[in-house]
Structure 1
């Protein structure tokens, strides 16, 4: 439980996000010791927005606690698998020159060892000798993530689209160590020594300074003075102090290397970053929708306690799976009071004897929610017989209790609609509270919501301005271009996350997917029998609703096909191409899509397998020289245009 009081400024930001939440409701929400999944996601969204606005309502540790609670309830929830948005409220977004992902976290040496083992397994698969595997360790700056392409400075946004904050450079922001512009991703930070000496009496923390640097409004005099004094900088990740050595040395001297990195810069840090340096291996390992697999952050903390279970509360997810949440005697671990934890599944509740009166050992590692390590004292397990949302009789499916009511279960309906708008990601306003109001009025399907007019929203209790805004957002979500794989993923079919959607659409068009059999899917790489059968069943279940929404006329960009006989062989068919710098013939994303449509493979970094490095404006000589040393042909943007013509 957390006691909070929201300021008027914080409430204004929450209102601008489209949330219709009162001070009293927010206090009740943040003070609750038993949050359902939707309320938990709402707490995370509000907390993240206020943190990005530099007026946080909870600590980083408390936020991590909520994140881990959501992981326990629903580890595949879309909020956990997308980059937490870092946006300026009300500002327009633009496409980033390059994707900016979050960093996966580890809190123990064992987790680092497991990461190294995954690296070694990938290296073996592509015949990279172990002696070539080096790890670069750098401090993890605690600043404001941004990307500098030499002309524009962008916020990280949601990893795909950010906002133009070039005004920070116009105000006097410098690149750290007097470096050049255009070095890619980095953090806006302020020197700790300067902040402590000159600004601590005025600003609560350094993140408030970073917010002022990029704010659209007039800049604070003290912040401007810090810019003039060179205390505020944009620090590109590529230029950070680092310790780079063979992975065996990093593992054997891990503690001393971490200590070394912790004191290497005069900026706030909250851990260290480890990443492999072998470019072909990095390219092979790739990324999830949220993290690079070849990179990990390390943080330190661990605590444990024996705790009594007070009750087991069932919660219904979007898929109908019932999650058991153990309410606990409030216990302090690593500075946070823990009063609930999600048990993995109800089979664990049944077999381990987890019920009121049970004593469990919790381990809280890395300032996140504890996991149940073991059951010290068993009790009579508490199992629900019916769905807590719709009272339907529950069925066992492997380790899980499932609500079979796919059409009239309020929890499943609400969570499905929330998932759609969250995954679509090109509209604002349709968060949990708005969806809750609409489902309470009988709206159960996506296409029904798109039929609403401003007068309908007003009739359901929304203000005139909000009603018009919600209608405009629905219109915009159909008009703004989005990828067809993202559109499909928004329907929440089991085992059809963004990656699998994109892989399917590289072989089949969107409407044709609904005619495929499990055998058809199993012919494709990455689709085993169980997942194929699950996907086919899931597509069958959403088919009617999918086409009702699809026929509303969304602006979908088609995933390029790996094999398309309708496309003639081009000069770059089969080539591996990397685009770098600022392009003049369109955005880098547009040029990458065009290259894929011509049969090329587009990579994000240069390796020995790269055929062409296409250079736009403001590309460093070091990058060009490095590419040529690898045998890569370097051509200008104009030369590339001539080549494909």
Structure 2
């Protein structure tokens, strides 16, 4: 084995007896046949081998085993750790995601993460160079040039070679703590390789490769989920997930490009090194101080201007040297980085990269020039917001002409099948567009569009992107619309130019989306797209949304990632939503084009659900705020036998009380013009009773917080989503006591429910 490893780059740190490096034997003995010592030895070899294979794949781009073999090694390691309780803090298996978080905390950066000046004009770049050379008294200056990634900037922290923290850039001084989410990114090592600093803080960019983005979007669309708008938004949203297991499922990647701080502990007999950091290091090694204490001590000794090193470390005297050291430590860098002699070469680099832009597997919006010499960077310093030693030379905005990379069929809540073009991302009116509607099969055929064609993209009303025309044909014929639903395989039927899946709510895409939408509109916290999908896949919601009201705490608690508390909270939320106002109910059942405002208008006009169900299209059109198109949608939806059955299940089987119009029992107008939202429990009151109390006195009670909300009433054990929305929109929060006091001040008697 030693001979077979000797010629492999990166194998120097491996145990020469490790059997899982080249041509590994994947015929493992059953875990039950292993003793503890044998299992621990095998797990140690597997961790070492998996880290090595990660390095070969992500950093060197030169794997030595097949993906299938790697997957088996990884799975075997997980089996051993689970069976013998052998998990370690830096094991590769931690990449699959940990326990869901209550919220993302914030942390202070070791070194401020500043921004850089930018321009798309070459003369501005030359002015930057002239300013640099002037401030350095005419000294020779060379530059390191890098792609300017369109991702999310992060701080990565390693202590004693182990990954301990990651944070978003935030405001530059503090950022969101995304440690557990970044841990799932396979190109971010859990342990550094080689002769690394004792403390290393680096800056990188988390992004989603373009091919992975297109593949992931296709999966989302085909199962009925909304596709992500562009790779950057997808990466940012993924990195801020509260459930790291969701992050682990998404194809994030990371390039590293800057050392923010590096420090080596001095030898015991040396007097070198800052005493505060030395003491903090000793305390941390003795388990008497936290990593945060150590980083706080380090942050006081380094500068943001570029000389961010508390002790001299070979290779870190220049930006180019840093980029060369990163792979030695197992950190991934970009192969387009270049060291150039002057600003004209930097401008040429940008022009060359612009030509190559479309062939790259990641999004960039320009290039970055950085003064190479770190001592010069230190001399140049910073402004309050910017590094004086770096500048971004940006690309001009893209045109509205782009290429169709795929055509997928999206399944809507009502079963409508919509063809969607997935596109090479393009700027249209200042917005990045990566998908565009093809409307319906008839329009798709008329356009003659197919994968590979170059198309012109416009935005209807400067909002909705759509394919306007094929400007250059690179395929044969138009995309062939499927005869079966891509999610459930049911036959497709047509109503004029519109195609529908005949699977109804038996189609998982429709049911998942219906559950998520229904609960969202009714303000039931704890059910998003992910939870809705889990409820449907588990069979707990197997027929339609009415199954939600049969959910049992024990069944919910048994689901992966759930616990008894979250199960009890959801059941209580659903119980509170059994008797919604008529407007909320009509919005929640998913009538196309009918949101909360239109639904409220319909409810106010008809008063009761029976009156709504008995009306015809002409009567719907007579409602103020309802035009002919919406009236047609309402009539079509409510005439559908399948939808009628769902409504009857919700009502007649007592799973949901008869929705009422808020006008049905008006007692006064003391709260006229005020909108309330409730979160958490209020002793002695159900959510429906609180809504009814507000509405009977002229106010509005809605299920979600918006800019139109006046008050959020916060009871016991409130959810976080409504409070975060209230903070975002500047909504006044009140506790129940203050709420009832304000009612009493207006003469509203709340002593008795009958009198309220």
Range of TM-score over shorter length: 0.3 to 0.5
Larger radius of gyration: 2
Highest RCO, 1 vs 2 (Cα 8 Å, sep ≥ 6): 1
Q: TM-score, normalised by structure 2?
A: 0.37
Q: TM-score, normalised by structure 1?
A: 0.43
